[in-house]
Amino acid sequence: MKGFNIFQVASTQQFQRVQVHPLAVIAIVDAYARRMDGADRCIGTLLGYITDGNIIEITDAFTVAHKDEADGKVMMDQEYHRKMLRLKGKVCPKESIVGWFSTGDKILASSIVIHTFYESTTAEKGQQSALFNPTPALPKPLHMIVDTKCTNNKLTVKCFVNNVTPGIDSLVQFHEIPVTVAGGESEACLAVLPSPIPDGDADSKNRGFLEGIEMLIRKFKKVQEFTGRVVEGKEKVDAAASVRAREFSQVLNSAEPLSGESFEQLCSSTLQDTLMCVYLSNLARSQTALAEKINAFTATLDRDLDA
């Protein structure tokens, strides 16, 4: 069996279900779209907290630079992981490490190495831990896979845990557990996500933008038809809808038409912001590549010294 509900089998697991917020999924998909040239996947850390005693909420995620070697080894920027964790802790102290993610449609053999790092709670052999704090509700970190290849035209999210086998602690078994993608009203933006674009389909690159515009036009038409029926007295507005209608009217009244000069200034400032983002992205990419080369050189020196 590829997976089963481990909560119905092992009584040692206290939590009942895992919920992933849509913004965390969007962050993972965005990280995959911005991955380095030649990379097949991206990995990173999952942040969240435990609610209602046994429900694990995955609320955020950030990418950790890594490199998959041909021999199955993985080079990972562990220091960047710890720095980002400290920065995230200052912004939202409630969140902590709940696991790690990987893009793709299956678990790779090298995932065992990464999972072992996230399971580490104390420094061993001079290496620092991943700063994961086990709790009775979450004794082991989660491993979440996001199928960014959209197999069968579907963005699939799966979650796994490493179930310890009594007497064989070194055996790693990833078992699938129930997971749902759910969030609050502020995360309703998933409803306008574009359809997956097939590989090599150059004509479909603008599909997401066009679908968003078409959906917005349809909603405007519904609002226009509803307003017309209310003006003609064919339909009444309840208290809840009247508050939303006033808010919508205020937004429309606040929108001022742009002149040609104002539009040019807006485009110019936007272009400058875009160029600055591109410059910072290239700078960060260069620093990451330099850090990888330094780590590789340091690892080679350590092996030579040990030999």
pLDDT confidence of residue 145: 93
Determine how many CB atoms are found less than 10 A away from the CB of residue 7. Answer: 17
Write the pLDDT tens digit of every residue in 52-82: 778 899 999 999 988 888 777 788 888 889 8
**Per-residue confidence at 300, pLDDT binned at 50, 70, 90?**
confident
Half-sphere exposure of 22 (CA within 13 A, CB side): 12
- State the pLDDT confidence band at 201, using cuts at 50, 70 and 90: low
Q: Which amino acid is at 178?
A: P
Rank 87-96, 127-136, 168-177, 266-275 by mean pLDDT and report only the highest.
87-96
Over 60: is that where the pLDDT of 272 sits? yes
Residues in the chain: 307
pLDDT range class, residue 48, cuts 50, 70, 90: very high
Q: Where are the domains of the chain?
A: 6-192, 256-300
CA distances in angstroms from 290 to 32, 206, 286, 294, listed in the order given:
21, 35, 6, 6
pLDDT of residue 16: 59
Q: What is the CATH number of domain 6-192?
A: 3.40.140.10
Which residues does residue 81 pair with via DSSP β-bridges, in sequence order? none
